Amino acid sequence: MERNLQQTYSVPVESLVTRHRVLRNTYWLLALSMVPTILGAWLGVQFKFAFFSGSPVIGFIAFLAIAFGFFYAIEKTKNSGLGVAVLLGFTFFMGLMLTRLISFTLGFSNGAPLIMTAFGGTAAIFGAMATIATVSKRDFSGMGKWLFAGVLVILVAAAANIFLQMPALYLAISVIAIAIFSAYILYDVQQIINGGETNYISATLRIYLDVYNIFVNLLSLLGIVGGSRD
């Protein structure tokens, strides 16, 4: 009888241990990924890094091409230590891509406090959403297709606003993006908890993108409504 009980419960217990390990490794790698991101942003500001600043359309296309190239490389190497290196290389690139926004924000007299507020706000949102995903009994898996559709809408609107240059649309995109990527944290963290994602490198990439997009749009929003030139 004891042997039967062990056979019955060994698989669920082993699965639970694996899920906790993936979640723990994901959080550690997510924290580590902030280092090259900050380094990339700092170097970008120091050396005035410009990514196709003269042609926003080409810059947007080039960014997507490089980003998807990284996504492909991370997917191919996610089961080895090389995957960690590729992921950290991607986060360094994303840090460089913050150069324009960080430099613009630092042009405000209260630029540094705005950046710290955006960082703190992003951390608070992540903490709240990750906690809800961990303790809630609700199933958030059905949100996936709607959130993906929302991201596509944001991309189309952002691309259109390169030509339209409408401040109201930019503001709306930022607010909607914060809401969508906050909800994505719920979805992505619960995917790990429920066993839907078993690779911590892939999980880190997803949650990193959630956090990154929340920070970017929150900082943009704070700059619009609270930036001061005095």
Residue with tokens 């649309």: 169
Q: What is the mean pLDDT of the chain?
A: 88
Average pLDDT over residues 121-132: 96
Question: Which pLDDT value is given to residue 75?
Answer: 95
Question: Which pLDDT value is given to residue 67?
Answer: 95
What tokens appear for 134 in the block? 């961990």
* Dihedral over Cα of 204, 206, 207, 212: its sign: positive
Is residue 124 a contact partner of residue 117, using CB atoms and an 8 Å limit? no
How far is it, in rounded angstroms, from Cα 63 to Cα 70? Answer: 11
Question: Which pLDDT value is given to residue 41?
Answer: 95
Query: For 45-78, what is each residue's pLDDT tens digit?
Result: 999 888 776 777 788 889 989 999 999 999 999 9
Query: For 138-174, what is each residue's pLDDT tens digit?
Result: 888 888 899 999 999 998 888 888 788 888 888 999 9
Q: Give the residue among 205, 213, 200 at the shortest CA–CA distance from 90.
A: 205
- More confident position, 217 or 3: 217
Question: Which pLDDT value is given to residue 210?
Answer: 97
Question: What is the domain range of residue 52?
Answer: 2-226
Query: For 79-115, what is each residue's pLDDT tens digit?
Result: 999 999 999 999 999 999 999 999 999 999 898 999 9
Count other Cβ atoms within 10 Å, centred on residue 107. Answer: 11
Q: Give the residue among 188, 229, 178, 230 at the shortest CA–CA distance from 208.
A: 188
What tokens appear for 76 in the block? 């191919």
Domain count, the chain: 1
